[in-house]
Structure 1
Amino acid sequence: MVFEVTAQSVEQMFTRADGTYKFARWGRPIAPVVFGVEDSAVSVFKDAIEAVCRLAKHEMAETDPELGANFMVFFVCDWQELADTPNLDRMIPELAPLVDRLKSADANQYRLFRFDDDGGIKACFLFLRMDAAMSELPADTLCLGQAVQSVLLWSEAAFASTSPLALTGDNVAILKPDVANVIRAAYDPVMPVAAEDTSHALRMAARVGMLVA
């Protein structure tokens, strides 16, 4: 089912649990690196990121001049593996309490963003624990869904009860058109890289309307 993109629906997509509106898109080319899986799975993940970047008309890169890699993806079987990863705590000083929270919540995924001076995304750390639910997903479905959820600073509830993906008649996962249109509008050059006022949702909905007209 395709839902109409309205200012209210956009606002819900970017309103945090504390009630504040916070939108951000990547302000630089995305340079991904993937840990914890075989090379074949790395290629699937990078293909998914590339597909979302093409949709957004955003660039990918081999390296980031400041950070080397700015989108780091970690696949683990247990959250303790993060705490045991050498030097990861240097990049993520809050790693120890974060691992404790993930264990307590029995979470299977978490995204940690860093932002530039303009408020745009400059780095993302994506942590995926391959529990039973994650392991049941086909690799291309898992990777596309995670790429979509990492291309913007969505709210915690944006995809809590519904996936950004849909299945075709051939059982192939595709991005839902309404979500795709929000991403396209978010990366339109006339839109800001970051926003904290709900008037941004009005602009986004109007931009979507222009894209689909």
Structure 2
Amino acid sequence: MKRIVNLGTLLLILFTFSCKDGSKNKVTPNQFSQKVLNVASQKIIDDLKAQGMPVYGGTTEPLVQGIFQMQSLVFVKDWAASSISRVGAKADATKMQFVAVDFIDPSDHETVDIYFKLATSSNATFWKGTVSGNGNLFTAFTEVLAQYSDGTSLVLIIAISGEITPDGIKDYHFAQYVKEISNDPKKVFSVGSIVILKEEDSLAEKTSVF
């Protein structure tokens, strides 16, 4: 009889710890998966938010897929050391294509391929993206090496946020965050510098032509 009681007690303990461990693995809507944090650290995410960039956490991200055009982008935050602030100025029209790449699990929308270009150009830049989000809200992160004609070389974290709708991406925002500086001859940038743009009419419209 004693052996049976001890076995029952052991099973109860194991069940209790199993429940506790399961709760630890749950991610709340405001948290980020390790895959996302490997691209953008919590500090970078906090810095982006503090400067006005919407960033959506969670691991129930929506499917971000399709071609979108941004025709009325405006600067809402510029590099701190820019000699002439572009806040309020319009940026060139751009297009972006998102392609979901997880063919094994169709419900996993965390990884996307991103193609980005000026609307008037035929040359596109390719980025590997990692998506966080909850419901229809999402933020896609990617790390890129940016090299400019004057010799400036930076590692940037790019964040793209918005809400997926049938017509496009509502409340579209685009940010660049300076993670590392290899060379900055004009002393324009500093680690942690941020530039943020948003679609002035809110919606990055869905289109069929890239």
TM-score, with structure 2 as normaliser: 0.31
TM-score of the pair, normalised by structure 1: 0.30
* Greater RCO, CA 8 A, separation 6+: 1
Q: Hey, which of these two has a bigger chunk of helix by percent?
A: 1
Higher strand proportion (structure 1 or 2): 2
